[in-house]
Chain A
Amino acid sequence: MRFDRIDALAFGPLEEAVLELAPGMNVVYGPNEAGKSSWHVALYSGLCGMRRAQGNSKDVQKFTERHRPWDGRRWEVHAVVTLADGRNIELRHDLANKASSVRDTNIAGKDYANEIMHEGAPDGSRWLGLNRRTFLSTACVKQAEILGILDNPAMLQDDIQRAAATAGADSTAAAALQRLENFRRDFVGSNRAPKKPLLQSQAEVRQAQALLSEAEEMHTKYLRRREEVERLEQDVQGTRSNVDAMQAALTEMNVAAAQERLRKIEELGELFPEGAPHLSPERNSLAEKVATALDRWRSIPELIEPEGPTVHEYQQWKEDAERRLAARRAATAEREADEAGARYRRAHELATDFPDGHLPRTVEQERLAERARGALRDFESLHTRSEPTGPTVAEIEAELTDFDAKVNASQPARVRLPWLLACGLAFAIGIVLALALPNYWMLGAGLMAAGVIGGIATFLATRPRAQDQLIVDISRQGILQRLTSRREEERRYEDALRQQDEVRIRLMEIAQESGAHAPDMQSAIEVTRDWLLDWEALLRHRDEMAPKWDELQGLLRGDSLAAIESAAVRLRERAVQLVSSVDEDLLREARVEGIAREQLVDIERETNQDIRNWERQQSDRRNADEQHTKLSKEIAEAEDRLQKAGEEIGIALDNPNDLVTALGEWQERRAQSLGEEKERMDQWGELQNLLAGQSPDEVKDEVDRLKQEAQGRASKIGVGALTNARAQHPTQAKLDELLRKVREAESNHDTASGQLDEYGRTLPSVPDAEEALADAERVRERFTRLDSTLECTIEFLKDAQERVHRDLAPILRSTVLEWLPHVTDRRYVDCRVNPKSLAVDLAGADKRWRNAALLSRGTAEQVYLLLRLALAQHLTREEPCPLILDDAVAACDAQRKEAILDTLLAISESKNVQVILFTHEEDVRDWARNRLTSPAHLIKELDRVPIPP
């Protein structure tokens, strides 16, 4: 596409102005205030128009403020362009009225507005595949952009990336990605950023879920508790029903009882039509006297005369028995005193045979005799042993020592050892000579042979002989045997001497203990034997005295002779005393009886037992006598009462029994009369009890009331329950038990109900928790969705960037390569473009790569223009895009400026690209005058725009 013509009908300071353009390179020259910038914008506006979408963006507002004519009535610009397909199209933009038309200048009426409609208005850059924003960035090269490249080399790559990303209109893809990543990191967060919204929202969801679970669980518990309270209430109702049934059954029973009561009242009431009965006069005191007299008479037991021995007889028996016993005691004491005297006298007689008071003592002597007999036996068993004769032990040991010395002295070992050492030394020296001194190996070998032969000879010459050794061994063994025998003989001889000495000492001790003096062993033996003979004589005498000793001991019975004498005296005195106090006759009889002490004890026991029996019987008889006397008096008094009572009722009988019979008959008659009266009184009393202060009518009313109550209670419960209650035999106790159960059930229910109320007050709201969870989930969903959106966006953008860069890199390279040698005067002949970063490197003939942004200013500017051209070609696809430069080379020195201009011209000519360069520089104008000679190019010189009035 190329611009053919711009009609600035009213645009900024331009009015009815026309700018014709050539298809090649156009240099529009004009001084300041010549309207170059206005033409620049008019060129853009003529092609792209102005967006007319709803709303009013700041960009449009700013654009309007800057470029709308001052008078504001008209604002219109036209552009005529020729497309690559040959169409010549006029675009008319009435910017003031927001009206546009796009018509083919050749085909009348052909409207292409819809073909290029963008944001509400036709946009000619759409033919290039661009739009109003990207056209500015792609086609228009500003001075600042080139200066920016020079000031900041990194901007070259950034600019290329921006162009690749958004046709230069906005951010680079890398910056956009960074922005997305930053936003995601700051406002969403990753799975490793717990304080960022995404994880926080997830945590809040978990927390809300936990709260909801807790609320649901508590709610379930609440419902269960509620069910439990309901069950307890049913228990209350059940027990109450039982109470009602029991009460109904009890009321029924009360009704039956009341009806029975009423029946009896009515029945008894008929007996007393005139009211309460009147008692007949009664002689109660007389009846009482009769009754008392009879009772008294009847209460007296029968009078029985006492039988058996009298009290006096018992007393006599006791006294006789005591006297007879005393006589027997005295007689017994007398006989015992006689026996004690005889015993003493015999004992006294026997005691004279034992002046020492005992038999000869034998214990110590027996022990001594035993020792003496042992010592004599040992003495007699001693062997006579003579002292050993021949060589002593010391002499034999000396002989053995001499023998060993002689044997050792005859051994050849001491001779053999030095010889063996000398032979070994000779052998060693021979080895050293043979190995170390080869020249003397013969000598060495000789020494070695001499050593070996000498050693063997020495060994054979000095080895011990077996026959000699045997003789030595037998001789030595003989000496040793003699030494052992001598030692044994000496030990036996010494043992015999020691035993003899021991026996001698024992015999001397025995002799000394027997009281004899024995200066030597022989005299000790004789003394000992004599003492043993005396000892045996003493034993024989003792055996002869033993019977008397035994008799004496039998009489003494462990007492002394004086003691039995004293006892005999004491018994005599007591016997005399007893005899003096008893009856003589009885004493004689007792003496005849000859009662022994043992018999007396039995007699005493029997006598005392008899006395105690008589005393008891005597006491019984005494009581019986007293009772008889007392009863006799009572009978007399009772009989008197009977007589008096009989007199009062007119009965006079002497026989008390007849009188009693008559009085009894009188009582029976009276009792019959009283019984009839009592029965009526009882009936009256029963009636009064039944009435209990009520009138019969009141009782009837009560029965009726109870009937109604029973019916009422029965109507409230089922027939089955009532029947069941009746079967339980209702009682008040059972009713009380049921009432207790009701109270217990009510208490349980009240407790559970209270707990339920309390639980209910703290019950969390399930819907609240559900809503909180839903809210948390919404927040989480929002951040999850945002995270997902950002993630997808990043991935799409990265993929797009990678693909575009990959496609763009070879295009940039080929474009740059096409011009690079020419514009750099072959200083650089190769180019490479990084497909990831779009970084551009150049290489010369030396093939050394250099970053294009870091090359010389002129080269960098040239490369930049080439890259812009390549990007424009790439972005605009089929349709060649014009390049519009606004004072783009103003800051360049003359040499660089010319190089750039040459490049632009070359591009224009070779690529069929329209270049429109606005400039105020005269050297550029001059360059154009010189170089733009072809009709395909144009130089346009502008005049100053007049200032409106």
Chain B
Amino acid sequence: MKIVHFADLHLDSAFAWIGATGDVARRRRQALRDTLLSITRLVRETNAEALFCAGDLYEHDRVTPDTAEFLRQTFADLAPTRVFIAPGNHDYYGPHSVYASCKWSDNVHIFREPRLQPVPLTDGLMLWGAAHCAPANTGNLLDDFRAEGAGVHIALFHGAERSWLSEQGSGKEPHAPFDAEEIVGTGLRHAFLGHYHRPKDAEHHTYPGNPDPLQFGEDRTAGLIRGPVIATINSDGSVQRERLSVAVTQVHDLTLDLTGCASQQDVREKLVDTAQGLKGIARLTVTGDLEPALDLPEHILHDVLDKFFDTTRVHTEGLRQGYNVEAIREEATVKGQFVRDVLNSGIDPEDKRRILITGLRALDGRDDLDVL
């Protein structure tokens, strides 16, 4: 049986993380919808017999009536292909959830219990699914579970595989935590999962990863593409997987070395070269030595970036002040004393950099005191 599996689309997510507001953010949310349409298109093109969604399809706290209707229509258009949804912690099933209040077409099956429930897929293939019914505190769905009966048993749910949690970065909560060994131990042959945004193709479980970017720095993990997984489930329970990218949003991590840039024009030209041909969302990390004489307000960078990208964030943690502070600190002047005091202080290096440049510029008689 061939299925398409995805998770963690996070429709109606806020895009504050990229600093987007208004129309830009709304375009990004539309991109998430376009991504779902790409996934359903993939289902049709591959003649998949079912579409699996392992939760976090949308964000309960932000979901709009229009999104609910969009989901209903999109899945109804997929009929008679069956759609199986296992709600996650962000789209948990509850009496006022979209899952409970939307009139889903007959081809859509939503798991509504916080314990694994069976649904026969084909003769000899049983799908077990479960739902998060609260935004937190969902326990191990494999506890006290045993897949019994003839045939192959697979599962679809939203959960955190414990051994991989530490690699997910800070802020990732262990919702419905379980151990990979429990999958086979409970009689399941494979678990199609959601929650971790980093993709993983393990022997007995699959994390597809978020199909459209939700953070900067979402690079490939172990060469795996983030996005829907086309899975063929064999009669013996083995699974062949193929990954395709359907991401609509492009996210770029750019670096701009300001060393040698003596004027704003130098910076502009260098930045144009860096951003040439790119679009979407960008995070620009400015590095190198900032020429002391160079007045470079942040908006100069945004002026250039806005021509290429929908929205951008600028980070300056890697930027070094162009002043020869080692020479200045030796001066028996107020300037030297100032530099020595700042360098000897225990404040944050980035703050230290800003204070040094601000003070030195003031002592130089300059008025560009809003330091990048």
Contact = CB atoms under 8 A, between A and B. Distances in A.
Interface of A: 53-57, 118-119, 126, 129-131, 134, 163-167, 170-171, 173, 175-177, 179-180, 183, 187, 216, 219, 222-224, 226-227, 229-230, 756-757, 760-761, 763, 765-768, 770-775, 778, 785-786, 788-790, 792-793, 796-797, 799-801, 803-805, 874-875, 877
Interface stretch (B8-16, B135-143, B175-183, B241-249): B8-16
Contacts of B169: none
Contacts of A786: 370
Contacts of B62: 219, 765-767, 770
B15 A771 contact: yes
Given A55-B261, A165-B334, A226-B101, A119 B355 contact: no
A804 B96 contact: no
A289 B371 CA distance: 133
A768 B26 contact: yes
B21 A176 contact: no
A800 B363 CA distance: 12
A180 B26 CA distance: 40
B77 interface: no
B278 to A, nearest CB: 23
Nearest to A774: B16
A386 B20 CA distance: 142
B355 A767 contact: no
Contacts of B333: 134, 163-167, 804, 875
B259 A54 contact: yes
Contacts of B332: 129, 804, 874-875, 877
Contacts of B335: 165-167, 170, 800
Nearest to B262: A55
Contact of A803 (B25, B59, B337): B337
B362 A760 contact: no
Given A55-B263, A130-B331, A170 B365 contact: yes
Given A171-B363, A799-B341, 16 more contacts: A134-B333, A166-B335, A167-B335, A170-B364, A179-B369, A187-B370, A227-B96, A227-B101, A230-B95, A230-B101, A770-B62, A775-B19, A789-B354, A789-B371, A801-B337, A805-B334
B351 A788 contact: yes
A487 to B, nearest CB: 118
A798 to B, nearest CB: 9
Which of B100, B334, B337, B370 is packed against the most chain A CB atoms within 10 Å?
B334
Which of A130, A187, A219, A767 is packed against the most chain B CB atoms within 10 Å?
A767
Interface of B: 12-17, 19-22, 25-26, 29, 59-62, 64-66, 95-98, 100-101, 259-263, 266, 291, 293-294, 322, 324, 327, 330-335, 337-338, 340-342, 345, 347, 351, 354-355, 358-359, 362-365, 367, 369-371
Given A175-B365, A223-B96, A800-B341, A789 B358 contact: yes
A171 B262 contact: no
Contact of B338 (A129, A761, A796): A796
Contacts of A775: 16, 19, 21
A224 to B, nearest CB: 6
A229 B362 contact: no
28 contacts: A53-B322, A130-B331, A170-B335, A171-B362, A171-B363, A171-B364, A179-B367, A183-B370, A187-B369, A216-B61, A219-B62, A227-B96, A230-B100, A766-B12, A766-B62, A767-B13, A767-B25, A767-B62, A768-B21, A768-B26, A771-B15, A774-B21, A789-B358, A790-B358, A793-B355, A800-B337, A803-B337, A875-B333
A792 B351 contact: yes
Nearest to A231: B95
A164 B337 CA distance: 10
Which of B14, B331, B354, B363 is packed against the most chain A CB atoms within 10 Å?
B363
Nearest to A130: B331
A793 B17 CA distance: 30
Contacts of B26: 765, 768
Contacts of A788: 351
A796 B101 contact: no
A805 B338 CA distance: 12
Contacts of A165: 333-335, 363
Which of B26, B324, B335, B341 is packed against the most chain A CB atoms within 10 Å?
B335
Contacts of A756: 65
A175 B65 CA distance: 60
Contacts of B260: 54-55
A367 B49 CA distance: 142
Contacts of B97: 223
Contacts of B367: 179, 183
In order of increasing CB-CB distance, the 5 nearest A-B pairs are: A55-B262, A774-B16, A54-B260, A760-B65, A227-B96
Nearest to B359: A793
A175 B324 CA distance: 22
A797 B365 contact: no
Nearest to B266: A55
Nearest to A120: B324
A53 B261 CA distance: 10
A903 B66 CA distance: 89
Nearest to A792: B355
A790 B291 contact: no
Contacts of A793: 355, 358-359, 362
Given A230-B101, A763-B65, A176 B362 contact: yes
Contacts of B338: 796-797, 800
B64 A765 contact: yes
B341 A55 contact: no
A774 B24 CA distance: 14
Contacts of A222: 65
Given A175-B365, A176-B362, A767-B25, A224 B96 contact: yes
Contacts of B25: 767-768, 771
Nearest to B350: A785
B59 to A, nearest CB: 8
A770 B332 CA distance: 51
A790 B62 CA distance: 39
B193 to A, nearest CB: 26
Nearest to B337: A800
Given A760-B64, A766-B62, A180 B331 contact: no
Given A57-B293, A796-B355, A177 B362 contact: yes
Contacts of A230: 95-96, 100-101
A700 to B, nearest CB: 37
Nearest to A168: B333
Which of A187, A770, A790, A796 is packed against the most chain B CB atoms within 10 Å?
A796
Contacts of A229: 101
A227 B101 CA distance: 6
Contacts of B342: 796
Contacts of A760: 64-66
A57 B331 contact: no
A789 B351 contact: yes
B105 to A, nearest CB: 16
Contacts of A126: 327
A116 to B, nearest CB: 10
Nearest to B363: A176
Given A767-B62, A775-B16, A792-B355, A227 B95 contact: yes
Nearest to A875: B332
Contacts of B331: 129-130, 134, 167, 875
Contact of B362 (A167, A180, A761, A774): A180
B347 A792 contact: yes
Contacts of A56: 262
Contacts of B16: 770-771, 773-775
Contacts of B340: 800
A773 B61 CA distance: 16
Nearest to A224: B96
A226 B351 contact: no
B349 to A, nearest CB: 13
A227 B261 CA distance: 60
A805 B293 CA distance: 27
A867 B305 CA distance: 53
